[in-house]
Amino acid sequence: MKIHTRAVHAGDRKKAPVEIPVTTPIYNAASFISEKTADLDRIFAHELEGYSYSRYGNPTGAALEELVASLEGGHGALACASGMSALEIAVLSALIGRPKSVVSADALYGATINLFLRVFEPLGVKVRYVDVCDLGSLAGVIAEEKPGCILMETISNPCLRVGAIDRIAALARASGAALIVDNTFATPLLARPLELGAHFVVHSLTKYLAGHGDVLGGAVVTGLEHFENMRTLARTYGPLLGAFESYLAMRGIKTFPLRMERQCSNAARVAAWLRQDARIERVIYPDDAAHPDSATIQRLFPKDLRGAMVSFAVKDADRARIFAFMDRLKLVVRATSLGDVHTMMLYPVISSHREMPPAERERLGISENLVRLSAGIEAVEDVLADLDQALV
Which is more confidently placed, 355 or 350?
Answer: 350
* Residue 302 φ/ψ, nearest 5 degrees: -65, 155
User: How many other C-beta atoms are found inside a 10 Å radius of the C-beta of residue 198?
Assistant: 30
What pTM value is reported for the model? 0.94
Residue 198 has a pLDDT of 98
Catalytic residue among 27, 51, 109, 247: 109
Three-class SS of residue 221? strand
User: How many other C-beta atoms are found inside a 10 Å radius of the C-beta of residue 140?
Assistant: 12
Residue 107, pLDDT above cutoff 70? yes
Reply yes or no on whether 134 is catalytic. Answer: no
Catalytic residue among 161, 207, 231, 259: 207
Residue 356 has a pLDDT of 72
What are 13-39's pLDDT values in tens digits? 776 666 788 889 999 999 998 989 999
Percent of the chain topping pLDDT 70: 98
The confidence band for 275, taking pLDDT boundaries of 50, 70 and 90, is: very high
For the chain, the average pLDDT equals 94
Which stretches of 134-223 are DSSP H helices? Answer: 135-145, 165-175, 187-190
pLDDT (mean) for 63-68: 98
| Residues 6+ away with beta carbon under 8 Å from 100 | 124, 125, 126, 148
Catalytic residue among 51, 56, 182, 361: 182
Reply yes or no on whether 315 is catalytic. Answer: no
What are 159-210's pLDDT values in tens digits? 999 999 999 999 999 999 999 999 999 999 999 999 999 999 999 999 999 9
Residue 18 has a pLDDT of 67
DSSP codes, 346-386 = E-GGGTTTTTS-HHHHHHTT--TTEEEEE--SS-HHHHHHH
pLDDT (mean) for 58-81: 97
What are 312-353's pLDDT values in tens digits? 999 999 999 999 999 999 999 999 899 999 999 999 987 767
Which stretches of 319-377 are DSSP H helices? Answer: 319-327, 358-363
Catalytic residue among 6, 55, 98, 282: 55
Distance CA 187, CA 202 (A): 10
* Residue 283 φ/ψ, nearest 5 degrees: -130, 130
Residue 9, pLDDT above cutoff 90? no
Distance CA 242, CA 27 (A): 9
Reply yes or no on whether 321 is catalytic. Answer: no
Domains and CATH numbers, the chain: 3-253 (3.40.640.10), 256-390 (3.90.1150.10)
Reply yes or no on whether 27 is catalytic. Answer: no
pLDDT (mean) for 66-80: 98
Instruction: Answer for the pair 250, 63: CB distance below 8 angstroms, yes or no.
Output: yes
Percent of the chain topping pLDDT 90: 85
